[in-house]
Amino acid sequence: MIDFGAFMMIIIAGRMSSAMVTYYYNYHNNPKQLKTYLSSTFSLTIYISILVAALFIFGGPYIFDLVYKSDKVTFFPFGILMLAYAALSEIVMIYLIYLKNKKNISKYIAMVLIQVISNISFQLIYIIGFGMGVEGALLGMVTGLSCAFVTILILEKGILTLSPDWSMIKTSLRFSIALIPYVVIYWCMNQGGRIFLERYSTLEIVGLFGALIVLSRLIILGIEAVINGIRPFLYEQFALAENSNKEQVSLLTKMIINIPLLMVPIVILVGTNFQLISDKLSYSQISHYICFATLVIFAFVYVKLFYQQLIFAKRSDLATGLSFIALIFLVSGFLYWIPKYEIWGVLYATLLGNLVLALMFFLAGQKVVQVSYNFTHIILIPIFTFAIVFIIEWWMISQGYSYSMFGIVQFIIVSLLILLLNRNSIRDYKFLFLNRNK
């Protein structure tokens, strides 16, 4: 259901939040125009969400019957809750991106805390208090987002309008709609394999794979958090073109790679000791997949890195076109490998798709916005790090050590190794961000 909700977020409102990421900077020097753009985008997202949700209420049950073979996965009530979740997520995201671009950190943190705390609190009430199970978990998510939505209406007086500025909206819609196919493919790259796996395997295997992906996707959360934080600094340099500070660009791009890389040994440590989190016996099998899964997910870090050049140049059409090529490789891999290797098949196909897409984004990105990358740091250090991880795994398991012990040992060695290899960059990060305004 989380997968379905994530997919619906892509199409339910024309992905207007993607336009806010970059078109914000068209108006950031004019507060009045910026407020008009926020109000127009926020309001239109609500109206489009209502329309799309209404259509899915009638067609949703038929779609669920076609996509999911299990009769446990039903549109009512699960699908309808995920429609509300997707719509509210996209609406709230518009405002959160506005706050991030504005660098209003205190209000942004407050909004996130309101959403998270209310989400968890209502989930506890619905699941434990009322015994609603999965339905309670989903309803808690919707209630948490509803609290965030109401808070936005209170904080931003006049944010709702019945007369959006269509001159602003048209360019944003052209950009965001052209980007939708890419975002769909992005979803397929990270979560689409689960649907293919469900067609060829059991729900227990799908559940194991779901837990594996949720855990390994912490690396993607790392990269998204870093990019959200440094995007204003990076885009400032992109805007300077030939006059950009190449050392600063190199430092920022290294940061996009190094922080997710530092999360790799942490994810492996948790994955190899999953028995401490869940007593479900089948989840202990995550330890066999977790190292390769982190490599698969980490390959997507390069997609996100090179994607920034295309988005800065507002080339959503190019991002979408190249993504279709990668999708061919991805789906072909799913169809060929999943029937034979199940979870391993999903991982093989996803790695292939990620590498193809990253390479194409790099070549295309260099043509629209030339960037001088430090390939020693962004390519060779990650390769060396993963080589060490796999060598430690092979040696310790062949010697009869447990995966739990391997997780602890690799965490200590690999974490220290990454910090050691980036010791000079850490000093540079402090200088860049702490002394920026001095």
Do 158 and 198 lie in a common domain?
A: no
CA 334: distance to chain centroid?
21
Do 94 and 225 lie in a common domain?
A: no
The residue range of the domain holding 414 is 171-438
Which tokens go with 209? Answer: 């794979």
CB atoms within 10 A of CB 197: 23
Please state the φ and ψ torsions of residue 105, each to the nearest 5 degrees. -65, -40
Do 51 and 93 lie in a common domain?
A: yes
Helix (H) or strand (E) holding 383: helix 381-398
Least confident of 3-7, 156-160, 410-414: 3-7
Average pLDDT estimate for 394-405 = 95
User: Which residue type sits at 211?
Assistant: A
pLDDT tens by residue, 294-327: 999 999 899 989 988 888 888 888 988 999 999 9
Residue 437 has a pLDDT of 47
Are the C-beta atoms of 21 and 311 separated by less than 8 Å?
yes
Do 1 and 30 lie in a common domain?
A: yes
Do 204 and 321 lie in a common domain?
A: yes
Do 335 and 387 lie in a common domain?
A: yes
Do 160 and 175 lie in a common domain?
A: no
User: Which residue type sits at 7?
Assistant: F
Average pLDDT, the chain: 87
In whole angstroms, give the CA distance from residue 429 to residue 121: 37
Note the maximum CA span of the chain: 69
Do 397 and 263 lie in a common domain?
A: yes
Q: At what angle do helices 423-434 and 403-421 cross, to 10 degrees?
A: 60
Q: Give the chain's domain count.
A: 2
In whole angstroms, give the CA distance from residue 340 to residue 425: 44
Residue 322 has a pLDDT of 92
In whole angstroms, give the CA distance from residue 424 to residue 430: 10
In whole angstroms, give the CA distance from residue 358 to residue 214: 22
Residue 162 has a pLDDT of 92
Are the C-beta atoms of 234 and 252 separated by less than 8 Å?
yes
In whole angstroms, give the CA distance from residue 170 to residue 155: 27
In whole angstroms, give the CA distance from residue 134 to residue 153: 29
Runs of H (alpha helix) within 103-155: 105-124, 133-155
pLDDT tens by residue, 246-276: 778 888 888 888 888 999 999 999 999 987 7
Of the three residues 164, 184, 204, the one that is the final residue of a domain is: 164
Do 194 and 233 lie in a common domain?
A: yes
Do 32 and 105 lie in a common domain?
A: yes
Of the three residues 133, 164, 195, the one that is the final residue of a domain is: 164
Residue 276 has a pLDDT of 79
Do 44 and 81 lie in a common domain?
A: yes
Nearest to 260 by CA among 310, 214, 217: 217
In whole angstroms, give the CA distance from residue 353 to residue 16: 26
Of the three residues 106, 129, 164, the one that is the final residue of a domain is: 164
In whole angstroms, give the CA distance from residue 305 to residue 256: 7
What distances in angstroms separate CA 58 from CA 16, 374, 404, one per listed residue? 24, 52, 49
Residue 138 has a pLDDT of 94
Average pLDDT estimate for 386-403 = 96
CA triplet 261, 267, 273: central angle to 5 degrees? 150
Do 160 and 193 lie in a common domain?
A: no
What distances in angstroms separate CA 33 from CA 27, 29, 164, one per listed residue? 6, 9, 12
In whole angstroms, give the CA distance from residue 290 to residue 386: 12
Q: Return the DSSP state at 374.
A: -
